[in-house]
């Protein structure tokens, strides 16, 4: 982008970008600790994830205030307005990712006692790591104004869908085999769905990064992997 004739405006845009990056870094800590909590089931780590959600909410509010100030004072147009509106959407997606991490942490706190199926926790951890990787990659693309990097994240959303579908099928099988597994597996299903939604929000961010850089929509139909419905049908046939 060409440099602004108004130096103060340029400084405000840089400050806005930095605020979004700081918010993303906080969300990344939540996701990192979530993977840790899934692996070791540490209640203190889960509690910290929940507490950090208030910080993420406050960051989003501050970003919204900055954007309102810029629009009211500078009346941006063209590429500047495009970036500001897209940044507002990105902050909203980051806030939702923080909420989803918090929801997973709350579920983990309710999962007391020994793990009935340890391998399911391993699959859930893989899903959490993949979701975090998506968020890190897309925010790297945001910082670098890298449309190609954003496109890679967008096209890799099916990987998370496939992991979610595989875990869904696995948990459904355990619940059908033994009703005593239903409670524990249900909590894992909710966690898995939250992590699948993290991937969806990373895809949203990828679309907005591409829009900032190119001014065009990245695509119409998102690439999707296996669906849980197919998993249900497959499991039913097996039974």
Per-residue pLDDT tens listing for the chain (239 residues): 455 557 888 889 999 999 999 999 999 999 999 999 998 877 899 999 999 999 999 999 999 999 999 999 888 888 889 999 999 999 999 999 999 999 999 999 887 666 556 678 888 999 999 999 999 999 999 999 999 999 999 999 989 999 999 999 999 998 898 888 888 889 999 999 999 999 999 999 999 999 999 999 886 666 666 666 554 544 444 44
* The CA-based dihedral angle spanning residues 38, 101, 164, 141, taken in that order and rounded to the nearest 10 degrees: -110
What tokens were used for 209? 């990064």
Q: Which CATH architecture has domain 7-238?
A: Up-down Bundle (1.20)
By C-alpha distance, which of 168, 99, 159, 171 is closest to 129?
159
The count of C-alpha atoms lying within 13 angstroms of the C-alpha of 140, restricted to the half-sphere facing its C-beta, is 12
Distance from the Cα of residue 15 to its chain's centroid? 23
The whole model's pTM is what? 0.88
Percent helix, strand and coil across the chain, each to the nearest 5: 85, 0, 15
Distance from the Cα of residue 34 to its chain's centroid? 12
Query: Where do the domains of the chain lie?
Result: 7-238
């Amino acid at each position: 982008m060409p440099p602004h004739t108004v130096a103060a405006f340029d400084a405000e845009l840089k400050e806005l970008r930095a605020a979004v990056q700081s918010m993303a870094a906080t969300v990344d800590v939540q996701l990192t600790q979530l993977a840790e909590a899934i692996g070791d089931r540490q209640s203190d780590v889960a509690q910290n994830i929940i507490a950090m959600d208030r910080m993420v909410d406050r960051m989003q509010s501050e970003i919204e205030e900055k954007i309102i100030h810029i629009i009211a004072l500078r009346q941006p147009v063209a590429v500047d307005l495009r970036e500001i509106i897209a940044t507002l959407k990105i902050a909203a997606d980051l806030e939702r990712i923080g909420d989803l991490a918090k929801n997973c942490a709350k579920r983990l706190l309710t999962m007391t006692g020994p793990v009935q199926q340890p391998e399911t926790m391993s699959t859930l951890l893989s899903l959490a790591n993949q979701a975090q990787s998506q968020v890190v990659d897309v925010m790297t693309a945001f910082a670098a104004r890298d449309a190609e990097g954003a496109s890679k994240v967008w096209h890799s959303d099916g990987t998370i869908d496939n992991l979610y579908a595989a875990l869904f099928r696995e948990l459904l099988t355990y619940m059908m085999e033994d009703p005593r597994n239903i409670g524990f597996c249900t909590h894992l299903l909710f966690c898995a769905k939250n992590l699948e939604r993290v991937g969806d929000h990373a895809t949203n961010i990828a679309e907005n990064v591409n829009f900032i850089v190119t001014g065009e929509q990245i695509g119409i139909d998102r690439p999707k992997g296996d669906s849980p419905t197919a998993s249900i049908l497959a499991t039913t046939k097996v039974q």
